[in-house]
Chains A and B, each alone.
Chain A
Amino acid sequence: MTSRRKSLNSGNPGAALVAAEAAFTRGLYAVAIFVVVLLTAILVTLLIGSRESLGTIGLGFLYGKTWDPVSSEFGALPFLVGTLLTSFLALGISLPFSIAIAVFLGEYFREGALSSFLRSAIDLLAGIPSVIYGFWGLFVLVPLVRSLQLKLGVPPFGVGILTSSLVLSIMIVPYSAALGREVIQLVPSDLKEAALSMGATRSEVIWKVVLPYARSGIFAGVLLSLGRALGETMAVTMVIGNSNFLPRGIFSPANTMASLIANEFAEATEPLYVSSLVEIGLLLFIVTTLVNIIGRQIIKRTAVEV
């Protein structure tokens, strides 16, 4: 049979194959670079758009408490505070729920009808358009918060920071719950067995072995949720009260950066007004980027080395 063995080079696809491979690699590079270009382009657009306000108002924009287009006074502080307050409050409210769901699905009910039903329900939650959340907040949460405010004796606005945070917290649960479930499922079973064999109960195993092991993944989910909350526009606009003053507390009506832009961009005509709104956009861009960078550092630090 030796005589029938073909030479290694016979039917050499050679040049064509190499060229196709190179083209494929080039294509991948192009797409990757395009993403970076896009990101830079957005940043540059924001910078150019806010040139006027950057030049006229300068750093005062960051700590200015007054937003009054009529007298051309533009300060971003109320919206910066409003955005951070609603987002972090929402995160605080949603975290216990998303961790509980993640543990439930990742540890107790990994499969079966109940598990797949709950998983699809959570996925659906992520798919609901935010305007629907806004409606629901307006019709259900606003009256609830108002009656709470009446009981507490604070002005019964109904709309405000707390209401927005509640709506946001529901909207962001799916993100952290889904990621949390995945990382909890990845916790090695021999660690859980070791803990059980020392007399730990199931809940002790969860608190002391599973959650510490999964913490960096859980945090990644939290970061994803936070990003979503910081940028959410529609649902927040509908229930926050759109008040352009520095919020006095969690019951007070306020406004966020995203919501302010959505509300006022159409009516802004004066160049400085428009430019200030673009600068608000720039600020939002910077805040989300910072949150991401800091978050990534924390994820790296908390990751379990094995």
Chain B
Amino acid sequence: MESEVLKVEKFGAYFGDTQILKYINLSIPENMVTAIMGPSGCGKTTLIRCVNRMHELITGARVEGRILLCGEDVYKTNPILVRRKVGMVFQKPNPFPTMSIYDNVIAGYKLNGIRLGRGELDRIVEESLQRAALWDEVKDSVHRKGTFLSGGQQQRLCIARALAMNPEVLLLDEPTSALDPKATSRIEELIIELKEYVTIVLVTHNIAQAARVSDLTAFLYLGELVEFGPSEKLFTVPEDKRTEEYLTGKFG
């Protein structure tokens, strides 16, 4: 495998006494889209929330094993530094309603108290919005509140906000589940374009979506990693019976 950005090793996660993830091993290579699939409740969200150490914010949550980001154990690094290097986009678009579009994009810097010059900020805002394919639509209204944007535009704003911090990895948790088909395909195109800049982990329920945008797919079932490999292969000739059943809609 090529250089891997993210490596999950013998990883387990718990809510109190309930084990949610069991002995997960995953190697996610640079500049690729890795889809994480599996039936509801199998631990997809939990897995990506463990990458940026959001899981541990819930009382009673704990983890075991290692997750390496660019070779460094995230659980031996200050969580704040980890989160700055890992962007996250949620299921429901959640731009900050009190901030302008401009301020939303640089929210990561503002929140972390990082001061930059005006020119630098302007450059980051333009570049991030360009990459999130939103610039053309909002370039004349960046100083307005983002609340007038459509759901799809708000989600792209959230992607721009994550990209602005120049993350190594972008975690997307069902980013299109609250969007209409048109906005969804816009985001899918965007995901493919973004590979160039950032490694992407995409949680999705949508098999067609995973097939369209991902290079690799991981199939989780009841907290276990059942199968992981090139999407083409996993979708056409799955090795495991459970994967096949999931793909043919036997459960899910």
Contact = CB atoms under 8 A, between A and B. Distances in A.
Interface of A: 188, 190-191, 193-201, 204-205, 208-209, 212-213, 215, 304-306
Given A188-B94, A191-B94, A209-B96, A197 B111 contact: no
Interface of B: 52, 54, 57, 80-84, 86-88, 90, 92, 94, 96-99, 107-108, 110-113, 145, 147, 158, 161-162, 165
A79 to B, nearest CB: 40
Contacts, number: 73
The SS class assigned to the A binding surface is helix
Contacts of B84: 198-199
Contacts of B110: 208
B98 A193 contact: no
Contacts of B111: 195, 198-200, 204-205, 208-209
Contact of A199 (B57, B81, B98): B81
Contact of B54 (A197, A204, A212): A197
A212 B99 CA distance: 9
B158 A194 contact: yes
Given A191-B96, A199-B112, A199-B165, 15 more contacts: A191-B94, A193-B94, A194-B96, A194-B158, A195-B107, A197-B88, A198-B107, A198-B161, A198-B162, A199-B83, A199-B108, A200-B111, A204-B112, A205-B111, A306-B97
Contact of A194 (B82, B94, B98, B147): B94
Contact of B97 (A197, A204, A305): A305
Nearest to A205: B111
13 contacts: A190-B90, A195-B107, A196-B54, A197-B83, A198-B84, A199-B82, A200-B80, A200-B111, A204-B112, A209-B98, A215-B98, A304-B97, A306-B147
Contacts of A190: 90, 92, 94
Greatest chain B CB density within 10 A among A188, A195, A212, A306 is at A195
A190 B173 CA distance: 13
A272 B87 CA distance: 73
B80 A201 contact: yes
A62 to B, nearest CB: 40
Given A197-B83, A199-B108, A305-B147, A204 B98 contact: no
Nearest to B99: A212
A286 B3 CA distance: 73
